[in-house]
Structure 1
């Protein structure tokens, strides 16, 4: 996190617009956009899985807020969840549901590992 700072974004529909960035904002802002398309983005947080070929990104999360969006949900901070090529703006209840689901799926993966261990042990006999 950094200290809050003020930036100026050149918009197509409202001219230059002065904005105060949240402390978590990476400071990357595009000019020549519509005001409704302005967003503050936090750094990407990839969630990776180890594979035989090396780490593979499973999903990516990033804090975001779009202070002038038409959708009121997007005007408050949320976490944008990237899965494949798609992004899903997600609030606290959605993130908690995703975390619960990932924990359940982790247990399913552990169960698969236990089954594999038994099969490998049987194959060695």
Structure 2
């Protein structure tokens, strides 16, 4: 069974209507503005959020900018990456694993701080 690739047609200020392939992970272009330039077109996947006490701490999502001109690492581009906020960077797999490791380490440090606070509060109530 043959499957046609997905495409999307968007209006841009500088190139009019453009039709481009849409990756299977793209969540759509609901936020696309017709007054944006073609170079700003971006595929964005579903967000993965870390929310605590109602505050968004981190959000990450697959992204690719098919017409990007940048080749600067971590600023996004034609190759898919994961955009992480509030870092404001697009990470490759190695960077993403490093971030996950740093978050694991930070979680251990938070647990140690919670243990220290528990000891202090226990001591105060004696």
Normalising by the smaller structure, the TM-score range is 0.7 to 0.9
Aligned to 2:51: 48
1:61 aligns with 2:60: yes
Give 1:4 shift. 5.6
Give 1:59 shift. 1.1
Give 1:12 shift. 2.8
Displaced runs of 4 or more, over 4 A: none
1:36 aligns with 2:39: yes
RMSD of aligned residue pairs (Cα, Å): 2.0
Q: Calculate the TM-score normalised by the size of structure 2.
A: 0.81
Aligned length: 117
| SS of equivalent residue, structure 1 residue 102 | helix
Aligned to 1:17: 18
Greater Cα offset, 100-109 or 9-18: 9-18
Aligned to 1:70: 69
- Unaligned residue ranges in structure 1 (runs of 5+): none
- Unaligned residue ranges in structure 2 (runs of 5+): none
Aligned to 2:98: 97
Give 1:32 shift. 3.5
